[in-house]
A = this chain, B = another copy of it.
């Protein structure tokens, strides 16, 4: 426990200006933010302050060398106004795993967890209660230290902002299996939630969008034969009644929704295989009718059904099933997240 979180409250709240019935994703921000500075070799105690602009020297290393990591989480409110998080310690641990790879100093657990709880307590009115909405939480760290020398910064900022948000994707998603561009290298930073991993995906995704797709499914950079992930989501494929997803690696993010889906599906008696998945296998299954479902899994979208995929100039439609693993698992996981059902896994985390 830390008892020294300084809190400077906003003079007035912006909450009345927000239309909670028509929220987009991550574009409206709550009244407060948590800020924690790393200086002279040490993370300083977190402060909560009104949501406000950040001022940086033009030579701050974030602008030049992409030294940044982030996390994505959601807070939910149940019918009794209790506030819930989902596996928050896993986000904390992953943030430090990402930081280590990006040469960013690791953050103390109490600064993350106690800071987050204090922030949510202060801004709990910002947690939406509409179905499908949540308070999206964005913890991030970036290099604020200065200098035009390509080396790790000596100063960093850890910030948590929150944003009441609706759905990440509207409707089903049509994806393109990538044959030219790549997201990550063996021995690279693909497993980390590093800022640079995202910027590199924008241009290939723009090209895919121009062809009518919403997202890219990334394949390995060497052969483009193995399905990896979708950049903001891990990918699951159902062939007959077996649910398959790729193993994590140094190229693939260890998604918290991904691992929850695996555990949940197994506990429901679904045959789950974590194995390398080839594009050929998926295309063959689409052709012979054994490909039943594909979906993405990630914090922002939770479970996002894929309606079709494109590969080598051909489109493959997924069948429209009455009952899907995707909708079943999405309901199970969101019911646990929102305290509508028992949580046999101990994933739900009450914010007191």
Spell out A's residues near B (CB within 8 Å): 25-27, 29, 33, 51-60, 62-68, 70, 72, 100-103, 136, 138, 140, 142-143, 146-152, 159, 161, 163, 165, 168, 178, 180-189, 194-203, 205-206, 221-222, 224, 231-232
Contacts and interface: CB of A to CB of B under 8 A. Distances in A.
The residue in A55, A183, A185 that gathers the most chain B C-beta atoms within 10 A of its C-beta is A185
How many copies of this chain does the complex contain?
A: 2
Query: Closest 7 CB pairs between A and B?
Result: A196-B196, A26-B148, A66-B195, A103-B202, A185-B185, A66-B196, A182-B187
A194 B187 contact: no
Given A183-B188, A187-B221, A195 B148 contact: no
B55 A55 contact: yes
A148 B138 contact: yes
Nearest to A33: B58
Given A188-B182, A188-B184, A194-B199, A206 B53 contact: no
Nearest to A102: B199
Given A59-B161, A66-B195, A67-B202, 13 more contacts: A53-B58, A55-B55, A58-B159, A63-B159, A67-B198, A72-B148, A103-B202, A136-B148, A181-B187, A189-B199, A194-B196, A195-B196, A222-B222
A199 B59 contact: no
Contacts of A189: 196, 199-200
Contact of A53 (B57, B178, B184, B200): B57
A25 B148 CA distance: 7
A146 B205 CA distance: 19
Given A186-B221, A222-B186, A161 B206 contact: no
Contacts of A231: 150
Given A103-B199, A186-B182, A149 B27 contact: yes
Given A64-B138, A149-B26, A182-B188, A103 B203 contact: yes
Most buried by B among A29, A33, A63, A151: A63
Contacts of A185: 182-185, 188, 221
A225 to B, nearest CB: 13
A326 B190 CA distance: 36
Contacts of A222: 186, 221-222
- Interface centre among A184, A186, A205, by most chain B C-beta atoms within 10 angstroms, is A186
Nearest to A204: B187
Contacts of A151: 202, 205
14 contacts: A26-B149, A51-B58, A53-B55, A54-B55, A59-B161, A63-B195, A64-B70, A65-B199, A66-B68, A66-B196, A102-B200, A184-B185, A194-B196, A196-B199
A195 B64 contact: yes
